Every structure is written in C-alpha cells, then in structure tokens.
Amino acid sequence: MRYRPLGTTDIQVSALALGSMTWGEQNSEAEGFAQIDRARAAGINFIDTAEMYPVPPRAETCGATETIIGNYFKRHGGREQWIIASKAAAPGNGITHIREGRNHFDRANLVAAVEGSLKRLHTDYLDLYQLHWPDRQTNFFGQLGYTHDPDAHITPIEDTLEVLDELVKSGKIRHIGLSNETPWGVHRFLQLAESRGWPRVVSIQNPYNLLNRSFEVGLAEIAIREQVGLLAYSPLAFGLLSGKYENGARPEKARLTLFERFQRYNNPQARRAASAYVALAREHGVDPAQLALAYVTSRPFLTSNIIGATTLEQLDSNLASFDLKLSNELLAGIERIHTEQPNPAP
C-alpha cells in the first residue's frame, strides 16, 4: 500500500480508503468488523463514513454505520491506527429524519452533528470532517442544468467556516473537507479560509469513475494546484463497472437488485459504456472491477479511492486492484471508449 498526504496536512492516508455505507443495511456489524480487519491487514488506514449512513438513508437505520465503527474501536481498540472521516448532512436529498430536515450548516446543526458522530464513533476527535453536500441550490448527485434562485435559503459559507474553525480549535475535528462540491464552492471556501485565517479545506469527496469523469473538467486543476485532493466515491459506478449486471443480470443481494433508488448509472448510454469497459478488461485478461479501480487510483489529482464491498471476496478483489498496472494499450482503450461516450452518467 502507498500513502499520500491529505491536502497540506502532515497526515498520510492510504491510496485506498475503506467505504462503509452498506454497514447497518446490506452488512451486519460482524461483517463490518471483518472488513475493518481485512482492510487493516492490507495496509489501509483510512475509513470513510457519514452521519446519514447506511444507504439508502432511512430514519430506522440512520447513524448505524458510525455505531458499528464505534463499537469496533470500543471492543478492539486501535482507534489511533486509523484516519476517520465523517460527514454532516445538509438540507434536501430527501433527508427529513435528521434534525427534522432543517440541517443547515449553521452553528446549532454543525455542533449537533459533530457531537452525534463523536458519540456514535466512541472517539474524542474526527480526523476529517466533511460537508456531505452543499447547503445551497447547485448541481450535485448527477443534476445538470444549473438554475439560480436568488431567494433560496442558504447558510453563508462565512458562517459555516466560523463554526468549523471553533470545532477545530476545540480539538473535536482536526481538518475539514467538502463533498459533492462545485469548482465555485471549493474556490470560495479556500478564498475565505485564506482571508479570514479559518481552516483550509484539505479534500473534496466527489464521484469519479469511468462513467463519470466530470471532475476532470473544473475540479482537477483546483485539486492539484491548491492541494485539495479527490477522495473518489462510486469508483465502480454502483457496481456497474464490475460486470456483474451484464446482459440484464440482477445478482441476489446486489445494490441495484435490492434498491430501486440507485438509478444514477442505470441509463442506456451508461450501460453501453460500462459493457465496453467490461469487454476491454476481459479482452486483456483483467478483472473489470480491478481495471476500473486501478484507473481511478492512478489519477494525479487523487488522494484516496474509496472502495466498498458487501463481501470479503469483493473486498479482497478491490484490494488487489492496487497492484494492477494499466498498460499503455489498456489506457488507450479506455480513452477510445471515453471519446465515443464521454461521461454518460454525470
């Protein structure tokens, strides 16, 4: 395993991070524990979670993922061996069960969110605290066609950063990050931090995979020049790039089989492109999922690639992607498919 700096901090995080959003829904606590052990044995030191996990988000399971992680540390110790990242939910996205849906990034809500996460995780501090999606009307979660509403309620970024500054100074969080953000949003957070002496954003967690390389358009330059590296989520596009859904297959207990909600990558053009990438991998004798993951991990703007699995066999396969070196021929094949069908699932 290789390790990369988390932004401008002195923290080194593994190039693969352990995703946890299925724990408490598709995975039991015991299975979550087993994944933590397996990932640690492979050299992973970075685990990502959120207050709204598991997904799909439901009031009945909200916070269960953080509780599972916290129970692991309570029973087995080793908290100091891990970099733990969590996230605060914002308004919208169908979330009405967290702080009654009025969870803006203001003082009351951010303090409550942090305190709740710390309690569930059985820890005194979070290494990275992220804003799960913007507290304003903009494009995220695959939305296109920006429409500006000057009357929409937003929490000023100044107010949000001021609270985060206090939380950093209190020792409850070490560093801050963004998620599902736009180039304007990242730039504004950096600008205010520099001018006001507030905490500097160290990462951005956005989707990035062979079906959605939109990060390259505006955010990749910011990530490199400003040292705000990408924490890539959905690197397998909800599993579509693994090949397990080829020819209309719906494997038992798979995400797209279980949950109608997950349609972001399930459109005709995305399915065609995914089939082309799967075929490319198989032509070269490479596991399709490992090809997709290796490509993401190799990008120069990436800090860590967040892998997720529901079985230890899947996790082992994902871990093995780290050792896959993509040949020039494979890379050329990827670019050919991308040119023919760019970003079919933004």
Single-letter residue type at 20: S
Place of tokens 């606590």: 29
What is the full DSSP assignment across 40-95? HHTT--EEE--TT-SSS--TTTTTHHHHHHHHHHHHH--GGG-EEEEEE--S-TT-
How far apart are the C-alpha atoms of 16 and 4, rounded to whole Å?
10
DSSP label at 323? Answer: G
How far apart are the C-alpha atoms of 152 and 9, rounded to whole Å?
35
- Spatial CA neighbour of 201 closest among 235, 160, 154: 160
- If phi > 0 it is left, if psi is from -120 to 50 it is alpha, else beta; for residue 193 that is alpha
Place of tokens 């299975």: 31
Please say if 245 is a catalytic residue.
Answer: no
Dihedral sign from CA coordinates of 343, 287, 13, 125: positive
Measure Cα distances from 67 to 103, 208, 219, 265 in Å: 20, 27, 33, 29
Catalytic member of 3, 53, 129, 245: 53
Let me know: does 182 contact 134? Beta carbons within 8 Å: yes
Which residues does residue 305 pair with via DSSP β-bridges, in sequence order? Answer: 16, 232
- Active-site residue list: 53
